[in-house]
Amino acid sequence: MRILIVKLSAIGDVVHTLPALTTLRRHFPEARISWLVEAAGGELIQGHRALSHRILLPRHEWRRLSRGGRWWASVAQFVGFLREFRQERYDLAIDFQGLAKSAVWMAFARARRKAGFGSGMQSREGAWLALNERVPPVSPDIHALERGLLLLESVGFSRLPLRYDLEPGPQAAAEVVPLLHAVGVGDGVPFVVVNPITRWPTKDWEPSRFASVVDALEGAGLPAVFTGAPGDCEAIDAIAAHMTSKPRRLEGRTRLAGLAELCRRARVVLSTDTGPMHIAAAVGTPVVALFGPTAPCRTGPYGEGHVVIRAGLDCSPCFKRRCETKRHEPRACMLRIEPSAVVAAVLRQAGR
């Protein structure tokens, strides 16, 4: 049995597909299961015990070459990748992304069965045209992780107890422990991971508010460690500028496996609606999540034991990257979240 999973990005989406991967593996212990994924999410599934083969799609590299005027090199790399991709035949290919960018590769895949959701779902971009098994659409208000498992059930595989099997491993531990020591968090010391940065301006909380929360946690004897990508340094600088305590900063200093290990060791993860929030839920750490323009029922931290804080405005969720409200001040859905409520939720989750 040869199975292809197509889920290209982003990090949260890849995490949401892990239970489907582990379900397939338990149904087919001897199958060759391959996953077509872009580099960022691909780092997270590297070495996953349920996965036989990871196929990294270098889409951003092709785009970089094209924008740099090296369009011929981009075309040559694309053709070479396509030739290699089409060498393998699959019994089943499943499109868990359901967008135009995944439909292209479903069309190219040499698979007897090509399954995914049919037309009628939000933002499908015609992806169903590349399929020969079109599953009836489900409500977009069903959590993204649940939608993947429902797709799998509709293709013919019964649901099993949910498992992510996201295991950072000893190498990640060896990476993270010295970093924690460097910011003053010793072995066995309870701490909070704070992931404040998103890629949507409407999802962001004010730097001064994050600063007041971190200062309050530090004052309560609960160290707070910032995480983020290398490009997040400037945004965390803005938070640090409002702090009275010394910031503990690890942004840009871990790989995704290291981030997963950091979340696993934390007592609580405080996050906006972004990928690390889902990593924390996958490794079993309680999350306090701040939501404004997006819907927790669709993309909130999955499972029990998490807390979602919202302002509860009538215009939220709007699912917009730019605030267009006329009834409230701009970005009110985030700005009306009170730091005191966030501090209380984190301390409660931490057992303080």
Q: Is the pLDDT of residue 146 over 70?
A: yes
- Please count the structural domains in the chain: 2
Same domain, 213 and 136: no
CA atoms within a 13 Å half-sphere pointing along the CA-CB vector of 9? 12
Quote the CA–CA distance of 190 and 262 in Å, as a whole number.
12
Give the pair of three-digit tokens for residue 295: 């819907």
Q: Is the pLDDT of residue 69 over 60?
A: yes
What pLDDT score was predicted for residue 102? Answer: 96
Average pLDDT for 42-71? 94
Q: Residues 271-314: pLDDT tens digits?
A: 999 999 999 999 999 999 999 999 999 999 999 999 999 999 99
Q: Any idea what the CATH number is for the domain that residue 179 is in? A: 3.40.50.2000
Beta bridge partners of 288: 270, 307
What pLDDT score was predicted for residue 123? Answer: 56
169 vs 179 pLDDT, higher one: 179
Name 78's Cβ contacts closer than 8 Å, sequence gap at least 6.
62
Same domain, 188 and 333: yes
Report which of 158, 82, 150 is spatially closest to residue 115, judged by C-alpha positions. 150
Is residue 161 domain-resident?
A: no
Secondary element (H or E) of residue 16: helix 11-27
Quote the CA–CA distance of 216 and 197 in Å, as a whole number.
20
Secondary element (H or E) of residue 212: helix 207-219
What pLDDT score was predicted for residue 171? Answer: 93
What pLDDT score was predicted for residue 38? Answer: 96
Same domain, 126 and 270: no
Report which of 320, 300, 327 is spatially closest to residue 144, judged by C-alpha positions. 300
Q: Is the pLDDT of residue 124 over 80?
A: no
Q: Residues 24-51: pLDDT tens digits?
A: 999 999 999 999 999 989 999 999 999 9
Secondary element (H or E) of residue 108: helix 100-108
Quote the CA–CA distance of 79 and 264 in Å, as a whole number.
40
Domain containing 60: what range? 2-155
Average pLDDT for 121-136? 87
Same domain, 27 and 105: yes
Quote the CA–CA distance of 236 and 211 in Å, as a whole number.
10
Positions of E strands within 142-259: 192-195, 224-226, 248-249
Same domain, 121 and 26: yes
Same domain, 95 and 200: no
Same domain, 86 and 132: yes
What pLDDT score was predicted for residue 122? Answer: 63
Mean pLDDT of the chain: 95
For the sheet containing 89-95, what is the strand order? 53-57, 32-38, 2-6, 89-95, 110-117, 133-135
Is residue 162 domain-resident?
A: no
Please identify, among 105, 123, 155, the residue that sits at the C-terminal boundary of a domain. 155
